[in-house]
Amino acid sequence: MNNDLYPLLLEPTIKNYVWGGQNFSHFLQNNPNPSQPVAEIWAIYNQNRIRNGYLSGKTLQDLVRNFGSAILGNFYTSTSFENFPLLIKLLDSQQWLSVQVHPNDDQAVKLEGKGFNGKTEGWFILDADPGAQLIAGMKPGMDKGALAKSIQNGTITSQLQYHSIHKNDYIYIPAGTIHALGPGARVYEIQQNSDVTYRVYDWDRLASAGRPLHIEKSIAVTDTFSQGKLNRSQDLPYQNIFKCQYFSLDLIQTEEDKVELNTNQDTFHALTVIEGVAEFIGSNSQFSLNQFECVLVPANYPSYQLAGKFKILKGSLNGN
């Protein structure tokens, strides 16, 4: 059965949050709410359905349960084949996202219960308007007491670290880091498969059932010393952007050339074209990937080639 796996194309999940825009709308074939802002595209996600081949209609979670290590690979160390471990998103931010923080794995279990895990993530800036910013971390000298006081007296936004962002910048955001994305940014996000988010501040937007603040939990999980460092990607054929215990992200770019890749049965490859068009050439598959299209290459798939002029982000598990 394991030999029947092939490169998987998934039907994306679209999130129409208030802070989104329309920059990704024309890339979507099936947008259920075309008049609504497209804030997030959950491109590779546990509940997304396969849209090609004989597994069409099944969810990615179904495949993890049925194929286990054949799809996830040897780097996957858990004994539970229940959920796909990562979530890959595209974000279009036209307003400030809420100032938020995520717990680590232990904190998530303690605060939310058994079965929850933390959320470490990383952002790659696909494009940014002039003056675009993000928040990552707090100003030096802050502790939990000062954080609580700044929230209570309404000065929290003046105690945060702001970073100007540009196309091809990237930043790693470990659990416990207070952060927010500002308006005018299009972002690729890779993260643990978790939606445990604690909002510290929501820019005085009216609170609703779907957007509550989580002040006590935010203070409990915030690492006031954690400050994200902004970096700029280089013009190299292959570059590791960041890696941590949960994932690795690589940038692959070429000018009308072929690149050979191999999972070595260690990890899946989650490929997202961010510029150009890539031709996927595999043992039983050949197809084109346009800008912002994704394919998930199972861990037991043999070596394959990518041809054309493109920039691709490759998400995977990290064996170290």
Q: How confident is the model at residue 2 (pLDDT cuts 50, 70, 90)?
A: very low
> In this model, does residue 253 exceed pLDDT 70?
yes
Based on the domain organization, do 93 and 124 belong to the same domain? yes
Mark whether 58 and 144 lie in a shared domain. Answer: yes
Taking only the tens place, the pLDDT of each residue in 10-25 is 999 999 888 899 898 8
Question: CB of 131 within 8 A of CB of 122?
Answer: no
pTM score:
0.95
Whether residues 199 and 244 fall in one domain: no
Q: Which of 78-82, 117-121, 161-165, 201-205 has the lowest mean pLDDT?
A: 201-205
Query: Which three-class secondary structure state does DSSP give residue 87?
Result: strand
Q: How many Cα atoms within 13 Å fall on the side-chain side of residue 96? A: 18
Same domain, 44 and 105: yes
Contacts of 92 (CB under 8 A, 6+ apart): 20, 21, 22, 23, 24, 37, 38, 39, 40, 185, 186
Same domain, 295 and 154: no
Residues 261 and 307 both lie in one domain: yes
CA distance 245 to 241: 14
Same domain, residue pair 52 and 199: yes
**In terms of domains, do 185 and 262 share one?**
no
Phi, then psi, of 91 in degrees rounded to 5 = -120, 135
> How much of the chain, in percent, has pLDDT values that exceed 90?
81
Last residue of a domain, one of 232, 264, 283: 232
Output the domain CATH number for residue 137: 2.60.120.10
Same domain, 195 and 253: no
| Per-residue pLDDT tens over the stretch 18-56 | 889 989 887 877 777 777 889 999 999 999 999 999 999
State how many domains the chain has: 2
